[in-house]
C-alpha cells in the first residue's frame, strides 16, 4: 500500500517539474517574441 502512495507522489512531483519547465519555456518564447516585436516597431 505504501509503495503505491510513494509512486503516486513521485509521479505528481515529476509532473509538476515537467509542467514548470514547459511553462518556463512558453514564457521565455513569449518574452522573446515581445522583444522582437518591440525592436521591429521602434
User: Residues 25-41: what's their mean pLDDT?
Assistant: 90
d(CA 5, CA 40): 52
- Rounded mean pLDDT of 20-27? 98
What is the reported pLDDT for 42?
66
Is the model's pLDDT at 15 over the cut of 90?
Answer: yes
* Higher pLDDT pick, 3 / 31: 31
Q: How confident is the model at residue 40 (pLDDT cuts 50, 70, 90)?
A: confident
Give the integer Cα–Cα distance in Å for 20 and 25: 9
DSSP, res 32: H
pLDDT at 2 over 80: no
30: pLDDT strictly greater than 90: yes
Amino acid at each position: 500500500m505504501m509503495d503505491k502512495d510513494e509512486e503516486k507522489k513521485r509521479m505528481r512531483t515529476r509532473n509538476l517539474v515537467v509542467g514548470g519547465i514547459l511553462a518556463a519555456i512558453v514564457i521565455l518564447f513569449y518574452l522573446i517574441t515581445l522583444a522582437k516585436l518591440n525592436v521591429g516597431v521602434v
